[in-house]
Chains A and B, each alone.
Chain A
Amino acid sequence: MMQKLRQSGTLLGFVLILLFFALKLPDTFLTARNLINISQQLSMLAVVATTMTIVMVMNDFDLSVGSMASLSGIVAAMIFTAGYPVWVGLSAALLVGVLGGLFNGFLVSVVGILPFVATLGTLTVFSGMAFLLSDGKTVFGRDIPASFSGFARAGIEIGDIKIPMLTITAGLVIFICWCILEHTNFGRRLYAIGGNKEASHLAGIKVVRLRLYAFSLTGLGAAGAGLMYAARVASANPTQGSGLMLDAIAAVFLGMTMSRRGEPKVIYTLVGVLILGVLDNGMTQLRVDSYVREILVGLIVLAAVAVASLSKLRQA
């Protein structure tokens, strides 16, 4: 009973939030246009949060995703500025993401630094590199090719509705992450590492190697989200991704309150992302002061996690 309540509490809260906005904003909230807006607004956060889930499944952490997103945007923009075609910029940025993730994984699993400390360090390193490459400037205007920024405007039209490319990209990433974690033996092994690192090692799981892979996937996701961000704002700035990290962690934590044993799951992370996004969207429409909005979002995250941990306590 308690278990069920703990699991469904957050979901119930989400439904209530939806209902509340639907009642308060009858004409605008539950419209196709608004829902598509929300999906597009959330696409970058969704990519970061779902790829972050991959390392959090192993009880690890990556604080550097935000600055990696900034760095990848800058790398792509600098390459565009130098006159190379779009695909070169994109590949280079994604490669930087993989390499940065590998470096995180190396620090965590080979050197053995706590993920919190290691990625706090690389957060600063990546951010510094972004500043160094860009000279602290925002790259925009003619330097950003229209075919790149156009991606954020494009969409696939189905009848009257235009599904934005950013939403479709995020959907693909979520689907791939879900497949990886839920339907491959790679994912099973990551969950086992999260369950007990030492036992997994002794059971023949290549813990060091898998952690490297997982961190590089998270880095790749962060870089992808950075590119999506840069396309959306048609510019690259060395700090523009930094807001993604905390929201992504909050989304994964919200999601963890919904799973059976408190383990992160892609689907639940997605619900976490939606909760954050819907709150932002609805409260903007209700004209709630932006600072009050921040306080409310923080309190709602805390409430969800508190309910989960209290019911877990009572269970024990």
Chain B
Amino acid sequence: MKTLLKTAVSLFALTASSAWAETVAVITPYLAQPGTQMAIEGFEAAASEKEWEVNVIDTAGDVASVISRIEDSITQNVDAIVIAVDPAQVNVGLQSAKEAGIPVVGLDAGTDPLLVANVTSNGYAMAAETSVYIANRIEGAGKVVMFVFDAFPPVQIRGVVADAIFGNFPDIEVLDRVTPDVSDGGIADSRAKMEAILAANPEAGSIAAVWAAWDQPALGALQAIEGAGREGEGIVITGIDANPQARDAIALAGNFEASIAQDFGAMGAAAADVVAGAMSGAEQRARVIYVPTKMVTANNAGQ
């Protein structure tokens, strides 16, 4: 009984807030992931300048709960909702929001007609940047190993772009197009696959570059090359995402030369702008809004 009273008191304290501010619910199952977290922090920072009331809800991996929390937020009559989850999976919730006339904005979510817009990085552009970087570094000639993952759409589009760019250089040959097993994070299996490829191509210089659709396979390939003692051959490795481990590797100025950093903070800020527009009733034409990315090389990896 006492516990309940105490709970009640603490709830009153928690909910004391100004009644006039616009309220925005931010709902995601993936708050534990660094990228999502940075994007939401960027959103909160922008929102506090606009003096919005932001309620961040983490459903800890549970996608159905995202729908439930969208429904709760609709009941509570929030002014806008931001989701960081695949919109196809929470379609039921988006439908309800549409019926209630509450705008929903995607934060690195995916494109969906029920979203006002999705704010994200341009996967095509990121893949183009790294593959062109490789083509230029090896001067348009040599054998390239690709690490791809076509089962996951955001990563699949990266592979498509790289295929096109390498195909446009007549002297570049794609030696192998590897799909690593990602159940352990992707590094270990990528390393094993790369070791096999190195063993099959023993002559120095027979492999010119490794293009990876994200950082983990790039790190695995780096380990394999170092393990085989072939780091002196000048094999160029690139990744995408620029996670901290990748940045460290790039900063050492070894084979891992470049990756692309998404600007999650800017993504959050851009999403806040879209929300502001939607709440004021402005028409949002572009369904996808891209936030600029930044190439990370040995020169700026420490930043």
A contacts B: CB pair < 8 Å: yes
A interface residue numbers (CB < 8 A to B): 9, 12-13, 16-17, 20, 24-25, 28, 31, 33-34, 37, 40-41, 44, 131, 135-138, 140-141, 149, 152-153, 229, 232-235, 237, 239-240, 242-243, 280-281, 283-292, 296, 299-300, 303, 307
Question: In the complex, which residues of chain A have a beta carbon less than 8 angstroms from the beta carbon of B73?
Answer: 284-285
Question: Are A284 and B7 within 8 A (Cβ)?
Answer: no
Contact B3 A300 (CB under 8 A): yes
- Are the C-beta atoms of B88 and A141 separated by less than 8 Å? yes
Whether A233 contacts B7 in the complex (CB less than 8 A), given A28-B77, A41-B71, comes out as: no
Given A243-B61, A280-B68, 4 further pairs, Cβ under 8 A: A24-B15, A28-B77, A243-B62, A284-B57
Taking a contact as CB atoms under 8 Å apart, the answer to whether B11 and A41 are in contact is no
Contact of B151 among A137, A153, A307 (CB under 8 A): A137
Answer yes or no: B164 CB below 8 A from chain A CBs.
Answer: no
**Which listed residue (B17, B53, B69, B76) contacts A28, Cβ 8 A?**
B76
Contact B63 A300 (CB under 8 A): no
A153-B95 in contact given A20-B11, A280-B68 (Cβ < 8 Å): yes
Contact (Cβ within 8 A) A290 B90: no
Residue of A nearest to B14 (CB): A288
Asked whether A284 and B69 contact (CB < 8 A) given A140-B88, A232-B92, the answer is yes
Contacts of B151 in A (CB 8 A): 135, 137
Rounded to whole angstroms, the CA-CA distance of A181 and B44 in the bound complex is 50
Chain A positions within 8 Å of B89 at CB level: 138, 140, 233-235
Tell me, in angstroms, the Cα distance from A290 to B59 when the chains sit together. 8
Secondary structure call for the B interface: helix
Expressed in whole angstroms, the Cα–Cα distance for A288 and B57 within the complex equals 9
Q: CA separation between A103 and B86, bound complex, in Å? A: 35
A239 touches B57 (CB 8 A): no
For B8, give its contact among A20, A232, A242 (CB under 8 Å): A20
* Inter-chain contact A287/B60, CB cutoff 8 Å: no
Query: Do residues A137 and B152 form an inter-chain contact, with CB atoms below 8 A?
Result: yes
Number of chain B residues whose Cβ lies closer than 8 Å to a Cβ of chain A: 44
B152 to chain A, nearest CB (A): 7
Could you say which residues of chain B place their CB within 8 Å of the CB of A291?
58
Q: Within the complex, which residue of B62, B63, B75, B95 is in contact with A285, where a contact is CB–CB below 8 Å?
A: B75
Any chain A CB within 8 A of the CB of B233?
no
Task: Note all chain A residues with C-beta closer than 8 A to B65.
Answer: 41, 243, 280
Docked CA distance A11–B68 (Å) = 24
**Given the complex, which residues of A lie within 8 Å of B77, measured CB to CB?**
28
Question: CB distance B92 to A153 under 8 Å?
Answer: yes
| Closest beta carbon of chain B to A166's beta carbon, Å | 10
By a CB distance below 8 angstroms, the chain A residues around B183 are 131, 136
A134 closest partner in B (C-beta): B151
Q: Which of B3, B59, B64, B71 is within 8 Å of A44, CB to CB?
A: B64
Residue of A nearest to B3 (CB): A303
- Bound-state CA distance A284–B90 (Å) is 17
Question: In the complex, A25→B95 CA distance in Å?
Answer: 24
The answer on a CB contact under 8 Å between A283 and B17 is no
- Asked if B121 lies at the interface with its beta carbon under 8 angstroms from chain A, I say no
* A and B contact pairs by CB, cutoff 8 A, 16 listed: A24-B15, A28-B77, A37-B71, A37-B75, A41-B67, A131-B183, A136-B182, A140-B86, A232-B67, A234-B89, A243-B61, A243-B65, A286-B11, A296-B10, A300-B7, A303-B4
